[in-house]
Structure 1
């Protein structure tokens, strides 16, 4: 068996049979585990021992993040700091001076976009599944360049906006697109991704490797169901 980058045990060696993360072509992504010394796996929702994907105690799907355990857990949406100086987003309290505006990227699972992908039969439409649980992530954009994609050890990719976190959108490329922020504002550039990038509910893909200006409230669609909404907030 192998362990995928998200920590799941998988009998398959091309894609994790728990969360679907690609393993083939990324030798460092999978870790071979001896069958003689199996590790104890616990349910992220109720902490009961589990042997497979679904918990026998509470029925939670271990490929998904743990659901909130109390009303207090849902009171505040997680806020992350994305910076070119860090290897990906790190959970943190926003540190913004009073009255100063910052760009924020909110990553969400967009069912309307997913339905449009199915209708137009995109390259991965037959394999893409909409997640049953995917909490929004708000990422503060500190810096100038922010890669949108999936982490890859072998390729040296550490996206500031990492969409490889389970449940991962398999339609997103490793290096899918890039947000760029300067004195003129925010732009999005598709990096030649497999499934392309579109904006604001349109099925027309933006041209690859051409910076496109973004405005507060614009929605960036990538992969099979992921939408990133950019806002400018105090």
Structure 2
């Protein structure tokens, strides 16, 4: 029985009956690793990728990867992006409050005889980014630029130019009346809050200024 260059016992004399190697061919070169994929080899054909060690041909050649990187055969793992955590923001919603107007007229407060409830008032939502927000009416000549400007038509004449200040500190909020003519009240009360004194607020609280203007303060995920 003949022995092929790969060391198999062959029953044929021309080609090895075990691996098909040409009988009498030169022995296959010895490789410690496959030149294509780098896997350890002991024979002519790599058991990992099928590369012909003698000819250096594989079914799919894998290009060597640069140092410090992985080859295309073993791609880098996909890393999921960090989840976006929604942030809590405060929102001031300005609207025309009919009940406030009726209470103002009933108690005959300052300017009650001159205040008129608007036929139409577009509700406004103001996202509060920051800490301090002036409530009042804009005046270029006086240098008054309130963040919550109530000087847009239709105008509530009961609101002072510098009426109140809203303060936001994380999840806490407060409102301070700045000595306005008609004062500031909260949550449907006819009792005015003391001037120059911060009053704590919670999400959902209503701030009443002027003859019919209410500002609802809420927290939302933005």
Give the TM-score normalised by the residue count of structure 1. Answer: 0.58
| 1:187 equivalent among 156, 170, 174 | 174
**Counterpart secondary structure, 2:217:** strand
SS at structure 2 position matched to 1:118: helix
Asked if 1:163 is matched to 2:169, the reply is no
Match of 1:208 among 171, 175, 195: 195
SS of equivalent residue, structure 2 residue 102: helix
Structure 1: gaps spanning 5 or more residues? 1-96
The equivalent of 1:50 in structure 2 is none
Deviations 1:1-31 (A, max 9, x none): xxxxxxxxxxxxxxxxxxxxxxxxxxxxxxx
Q: Which residues in structure 2 correspond to 1:40-189 (within 5 Å)?
A: 99-183=86-170, 185-189=172-176
Residue 145 of structure 1, CA deviation: 0.5
Q: Report the 3-state secondary structure (helix = DSSP H, G, I; strand = E; otherwise coil) of the residue aligned with 2:174.
A: strand
**1:111-151 residue CA offsets vs partner (Å, 9 max, x unmatched):** 00000000010110000000001011000000111000000
Greater RCO (CA < 8 Å, at least 6 residues apart): 1
CA drift of 1:184 comes to: 6.0
What do you get for the CA RMSD once the two structures are aligned? Answer: 1.1
Greater Rg, structure 1 or structure 2?
2
CA displacement 1:32-76 (0-9 Å, x = unmatched): xxxxxxxxxxxxxxxxxxxxxxxxxxxxxxxxxxxxxxxxxxxxx
Instruction: Report the equivalent of 2:214.
Output: 227
Displaced runs of 4 or more, over 3 A: none
Question: Taking structure 2 as the reference length, what is the TM-score of the superposition?
Answer: 0.61
| Separation of aligned partners in 2, 1:153 and 1:137 | 22
